[in-house]
C-alpha cells in the first residue's frame, strides 16, 4: 500500500486562468504543502454548499449518492488521490457494506464532494504530494495560492523561446490549465509552420 498523507479541504476559489473553473485547495493535515486541483463549477457549487452549511430545497447529485448509500447501508471509508497523469488527478472512493470493502474509481472533485458529506477522511499518495504539492510556508503575507502561469499574448509572440513554451506547456498541463495549454500548443504549431 502506498504511503498516504491525510488532507484537509481548505478552500475553493474561482480560477483566474480558466474561465468558469474553480481551484480546490487540499492541504496536508500534518504539514504545510497543498494540492491545487482545478474543478468544474457544478462540483465546486456542490462542495461549497456543504462547507458553508447552505440549505438546499432539492438533493444534488452527490446528495443522491449519499441517500442511496445510506439506504443500502454503504459507508464511505475514505477518499484516496492515488496518482496524477498529464495534469489529471485520479481518485478512488473506498466504500464498505455487505461485509466487504470496495474501491470505486472517481473524479477527484466528485470523490471530495462525497467524502465531505460522509465526514470521511481524504488522503493522497505521498508520491503525488512530493511531485506537485506546494509548500504554503514559502508564501509571504499577502500572497495567494496562485497556480496561474501569468503568460500574456505578447509573451507568446516574441519573448518565449520554443523550449520555454514547451516548459510552460508542461506546467499548464500539470496545473490542468487547458485553456493556456491550448494557446501554447497553437503558438508552437504556428512557429513550426514558419
Per-residue model confidence (pLDDT) at position 146: 44
C-alpha cell at 27: 492541504
Between CA 6 and CA 17 the distance in angstroms is 28
Q: What CATH code is carried by the domain that includes residue 124?
A: 3.10.690.10
Q: Are residues 83 and 172 in the same domain?
A: no
State whether 161 and 132 are in the same domain: no
In a domain, 87, yes or no: yes
Asked if residue 99 and residue 14 are part of one domain, the reply reads yes
Residue scoring higher pLDDT (120 or 41): 120
Helix (H, G, I), strand (E, B) or coil at 26: strand
Helices first, then strands: H and E counts in the chain? 7, 8
Cα 5 from Cα 44, distance rounded (Å): 23
Tell me: do 127 and 164 sit in the same domain.
Answer: no
Q: Which of 73, 77, 71 is nearest to 97 (CA)?
A: 73
Binning pLDDT at 50, 70 and 90, where does residue 131 land? very high
Cβ-proximal residues to 177 (8 Å cutoff; 6+ apart), any chain? 15, 17, 18, 38, 147, 148, 149
Q: Are residues 96 and 12 in the same domain?
A: yes
Q: Is residue 106 part of a domain?
A: yes
159 and 99 in a single domain? The answer is: no
What pLDDT score was predicted for residue 140? 41
In a domain, 91, yes or no: yes
105 and 183, same domain (yes or no): no
Start-to-end CA distance of the chain, whole Å, equals 50
Residue 129 confidence (pLDDT): 95
- Tell me: do 60 and 134 sit in the same domain: yes
Mean pLDDT of the chain: 83
Q: Summarize the confidence of residues 41-63 as an average pLDDT.
A: 91
More confident residue, 146 or 164: 164
Q: Which pLDDT does position 101 carry in this prediction?
A: 97
Same domain, 175 and 123: no
In a domain, 165, yes or no: yes
Identify whether 102 is part of a domain: yes
| Separation of alpha carbons 35 and 23, rounded Å | 10
Q: Which range is most confident: 22-31, 157-166, 180-189?
A: 22-31
Q: Are residues 95 and 159 in the same domain?
A: no
pTM (2 decimals)?
Answer: 0.71
Asked if the model's pLDDT at residue 151 lies above 90, the reply is no
CA 154 to chain centre: 29
Helix (H, G, I), strand (E, B) or coil at 22: strand
| 82-127 confidence digits (pLDDT tens) | 999 888 999 999 999 999 999 999 999 999 999 999 999 999 999 9
126 within some domain: yes
Structural domain boundaries enclosing 58: 4-138
- Is there a domain that residue 148 lies in? no
* Separation CA 101–CA 171 (nearest Å): 37
pLDDT for position 173: 65
Residue 122 sits in the same domain as residue 162? no
Number of folded domains that form the chain: 2
Whole-angstrom distance, CA of residue 100 vs CA of residue 107 = 22
Report which of residues 132 and 146 the model is more confident about: 132
> What is residue 194's predicted lDDT score, i.e. its pLDDT?
62
Q: How confident is the model at residue 147 (pLDDT cuts 50, 70, 90)?
A: very low
Residue 88 belongs to a domain: yes
**Quick one: pLDDT band at residue 138, thresholds 50, 70, 90?**
low
Same domain, 8 and 65: yes
Amino acid at each position: 500500500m502506498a504511503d498516504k498523507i491525510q488532507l484537509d479541504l481548505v478552500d475553493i476559489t474561482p480560477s483566474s486562468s480558466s474561465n468558469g473553473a474553480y481551484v480546490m485547495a487540499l492541504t496536508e493535515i500534518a504539514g504545510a504543502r497543498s494540492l491545487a486541483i482545478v474543478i468544474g463549477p457544478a462540483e465546486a457549487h456542490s462542495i461549497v454548499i456543504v462547507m458553508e452549511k447552505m440549505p438546499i430545497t432539492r438533493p444534488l447529485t452527490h446528495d443522491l449518492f449519499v441517500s442511496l448509500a445510506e439506504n443500502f447501508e454503504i459507508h464511505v471509508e475514505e477518499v484516496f488521490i492515488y496518482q496524477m497523469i498529464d495534469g489529471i488527478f485520479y481518485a478512488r472512493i473506498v466504500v464498505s457494506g455487505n461485509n466487504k470493502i470496495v474501491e470505486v474509481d472517481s473524479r477527484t472533485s466528485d470523490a471530495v464532494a462525497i467524502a465531505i458529506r460522509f465526514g470521511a477522511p481524504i488522503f493522497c499518495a505521498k508520491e503525488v504530494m512530493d511531485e506537485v504539492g506546494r509548500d504554503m510556508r514559502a508564501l509571504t503575507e499577502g500572497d495567494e495560492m496562485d497556480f496561474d502561469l501569468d503568460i500574456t499574448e505578447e509573451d507568446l509572440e516574441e519573448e518565449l523561446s520554443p523550449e520555454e513554451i514547451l516548459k510552460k506547456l508542461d506546467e499548464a498541463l500539470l496545473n490542468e490549465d487547458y485553456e493556456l495549454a491550448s494557446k501554447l500548443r497553437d503558438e508552437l504549431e504556428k512557429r513550426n509552420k514558419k
